[in-house]
Amino acid sequence: MQIAIYSRTSADVEVSNLQQLLDALRHCQITPLVFEPFYALARPSLQLAGELRTFAAPEDLGEGVDFLISMGGDGTLLDTVCFVRDTGIPVIGINFGRLGFLAGIGKEDVQDLVEALINRTYQIDRRVLLHLDSNVPLFGEVPYALNEFTIHKKDTSAMIKIHTYLNGEFLNTYWADGLIVSTPTGSTGYSLSCGGPVVFPDAASFVITPVAPHNLNVRPIVVPDHHIISFEIEGRGDQFLCTLDSRMETVDRQIQLAVRREEFTLGLLRTHEGNFLTTLRNKLLWGIDKRN
């Protein structure tokens, strides 16, 4: 079994937790592949029998990697989309952040996670990705996102107009600070904070959520994910912001943008102890009444 480990160099990951993971893997005779910048930062404080192999780019993972462990918060896990791409490598998130919707494994459960991998007592959920098409190259070789695509006004400029179409048919013009198109996975992220609904991960749909809409009767809408959603942007400024998850590009008003369902999916690994309903109750405190 080959396991890769990724973390941002600035992530708040205690070396003791990384050491615990490495020791648990070594006990099972598994030598991991570690993200090179993260390894360079942590190496002076680690106790190792020898040097570990590292990776720095997607092509370094190769076909032999069975899993990729993300150590950090949900933002760190979103980074892994750029590494696993369409390889089918499942991603596991150990949460060192705050809420941890995607990174659902607690840092105290490292030993249990390794045992689940060895004993294959886990489940892999296939998560839909968004793909961005545009008339100019954007986002290099990774024009897709796990959580959401957004169009947003730049800096403190006035609100913008976003003409939105479904399969070429006019849907609405959003007068707003921006617009979010989220996957079911992303429905508990930025879209939720802007009033969007929570959508089950296996729902075949996208959520279109305006950001600070000027017309208060405009509400989020759920559309089937086989639709192609396209946009035309107007505003007083000449430039706007376009994002895929945490990655950002500046675009001008002549840009042509459309999003659709990506042809491949991302595998998120979870243990049998957790599911989406459990996550909702634990993370959003559903069902908890402090009056009782």
Catalytic residue among 60, 74, 202, 238: 74
- 93, 108 Cβ separation under 8 angstroms: no
Terminal C-alpha separation, the chain: 48
- What torsion do the CA atoms of 106, 109, 111, 112 make, to the nearest 10 degrees? -110
Instruction: Give, for 112, the enclosing helix (H) or strand (E).
Output: helix 110-119
- Identify whether 125 is a catalytic site residue: no
The larger pLDDT score, comparing residue 122 to residue 99, is at 122
Q: How many CB atoms lie within 10 A of CB 161?
A: 13
The larger pLDDT score, comparing residue 157 to residue 137, is at 137
- Distance CA(206)–CA(112), nearest Å, equals 34
Domains identified in the chain and CATH numbers: 3-120 (3.40.50.10330), 130-262 (2.60.200.30)
Residue 59 has pLDDT above 60, yes or no: yes
Q: Please, which pLDDT band fits residue 37 given cuts at 50, 70 and 90?
A: very high
What is the maximum span of the chain, computed from C-alpha positions, in angstroms? 63
What is the arithmetic mean of pLDDT over 197-218? 94
The pLDDT score that the predictor gives to residue 292 is 59
Angle at which helix 15-27 crosses helix 110-119, to 10 degrees, equals 30
Residue 161 has pLDDT above 60, yes or no: yes
The larger pLDDT score, comparing residue 221 to residue 238, is at 221
What is the arithmetic mean of pLDDT over 195-221? 94
Q: Please, which pLDDT band fits residue 12 given cuts at 50, 70 and 90?
A: low
- 55, 87 Cβ separation under 8 angstroms: no
Q: Which CA distances in Å does 70 have to 86, 101, 117, 140?
A: 17, 13, 14, 22
